[in-house]
């Protein structure tokens, strides 16, 4: 993660230590390091994840984000596939990292 120029502390895997340090410019740097070109749908997912985290105090797991894509973004039954098209290396590896979440230790997928 040497390419990321920030005062935000990252853990050894490149996840934010403190999700409160997240910003859109930092997300752009994290996405670039992951090889993601961000579009409007990525930002919608990040906003959903950040809002969910603020409201519930926990990271939304993939099923919550899939439900968001299905209902709010109109992807219906194709929402799961769409989530993994947006984040091809996995929900945890890319979506959680770029959205500024800590790495969820209990999850085995992504």
pTM of the model: 0.85
Please report the sign of the dihedral spanned by the C-alpha atoms of residue 103, residue 28, residue 43, residue 23: positive
Which position has the token pair 């992951």?
34
Q: Which residue has the higher pLDDT, 1 or 75?
A: 75
Which position has the token pair 């490149």?
14
Residue 34 has pLDDT above 50, yes or no: yes
> What percentage of the chain carries pLDDT values higher than 90?
72
Q: 98: pLDDT confidence band, cut at 50, 70 and 90?
A: very high
Residue 26 has pLDDT above 80, yes or no: yes
Calculate the CA 12 to chain-centre distance.
Answer: 17
Q: 8: pLDDT confidence band, cut at 50, 70 and 90?
A: confident
The closest alpha carbon to 96, from 30, 12, 5, belongs to: 30
Domains and CATH numbers, the chain: 24-98 (1.10.10)
Residue 108 has pLDDT above 80, yes or no: no
Structure tokens at 85: 């098209």
């Amino acid at each position: 993660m040497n390419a990321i120029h920030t005062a935000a502390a990252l853990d050894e895997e490149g996840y934010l230590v403190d999700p409160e340090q997240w910003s859109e410019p930092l997300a752009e740097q994290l996405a670039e390091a992951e090889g993601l070109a961000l579009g409007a749908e990525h930002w919608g997912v990040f906003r959903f994840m950040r809002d969910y985290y603020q409201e519930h105090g926990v990271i939304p797991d993939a099923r919550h984000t899939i439900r968001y894509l299905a209902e709010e973004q109109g992807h219906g039954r194709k929402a799961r596939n769409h989530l993994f098209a947006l984040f091809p290396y996995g929900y945890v590896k890319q979506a959680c990292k770029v959205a500024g979440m800590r790495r969820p230790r209990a999850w085995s997928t992504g």
